[in-house]
Amino acid sequence: MRKKIAAANWKMNGTLTEARQLAEALVHASFSLHDHQQVVICPPFVYLMMLREMFAQQPHWHIGAQNCFTEVSGAYTGEISAAMLASIGVEYVIIGHSERRQYFHETGDMLARKLDVALQHGLKPIFCCGEPLDVRQQEGQDAYVLQQLQDSVFHLSAEQLSRLVIAYEPVWAIGTGLNATPEQAQQMHAFIRSCLAEQYGAEIAQSLTILYGGSLKAANAAELFACPDVDGGLVGGASLKAAEFIQIVHALSA
């Protein structure tokens, strides 16, 4: 059975006290998650170790970073490597978020390299793809997302691909309050799966987890998660409110 994931991307939000309070509220909430269901919390780097310890006894909960650098070590002031993340017990890492692509000019080549180093160190990358508004308006989303996959993912072996999670995050839906409709999400997720099937075969494409992200919230999680090719979500703003995120996790496990 395909893994279903509710992932929280806290982005650059929260002081230490706020991060601890939010994590505590989640630790104390009760969930009945099945073996194929997981929650992944991706806080800012500085809270990773605290959260890993707070969630250590929660079997379905995992910790992820929001980024890693392309190199393993060296004179790269301010950067964090996949090796460092693995060494503190981080399991997941978000690669290629549209904010990284836009504000930090991360190219397809850089993201390919980041996927390589993350996989080399045993991390599970959550690879983000998705089209901006003007591309959607011209109905160019399929070609755009396929290009993103070709640029950064298709050099991986089938074995490496099997350790990836894909997140489809249309840029026009991120932080805008305007989510993709279930039909739009399903269509793109099925398209992504068909591209992967063509490249790697149907079996591996069917087994891959593809998350939806972009203004996902308690009010729309259930209908999006009900789509056959939507295997959960990557949640930004709504993951900063414990009650809201708890409902999203409940929608995943319903």
Q: Which stretch binds ligand PGA (CB under 6 A): 26-34, 218-226, 236-244, 245-253?
A: 236-244
Active site residues: 97, 169
Distance, in Å, from the CA atom of 231 to the CA atom of 212, rounded to the nearest integer, reads: 8
Q: Kindly tell me which residue out of 70, 214, 247, 252 binds ligand PGA, with binding defined by CB under 6 A.
A: 214
Question: Quick check: 213 binds ligand PGA (CB under 6 A)?
Answer: yes
> Interface residues for ligand PGA in 148-177 (CB under 6 A)?
169, 174-175
Cα–Cα dist 228/84, whole Å: 36
Q: Tell me whether residue 175 or residue 201 sits nearer to ligand PGA (CB atom).
A: 175
CB 237 within 8 A of CB 219: no
**DSSP 8-state code for residue 97:** -
Q: Between 10 and 200, whose beta carbon lies closer to ligand PGA? A: 10
Q: Crossing angle, helix 182-200 and helix 218-225, to 10 degrees?
A: 50
Residue 216 contacts ligand PGA per CB under 6 A: yes
Please say which residue, 100 or 193, places its beta carbon nearer to ligand PGA: 100
Residue 125, interface with ligand PGA (CB under 6 A)? Answer: no
**Cβ neighbours around 107 below 10 Å, total:** 12
Rounded CA-CA distance 142/173 in Å is: 16
Note the residues at the interface with ligand PGA (CB under 6 A).
9, 169, 174-175, 213-216, 234-238
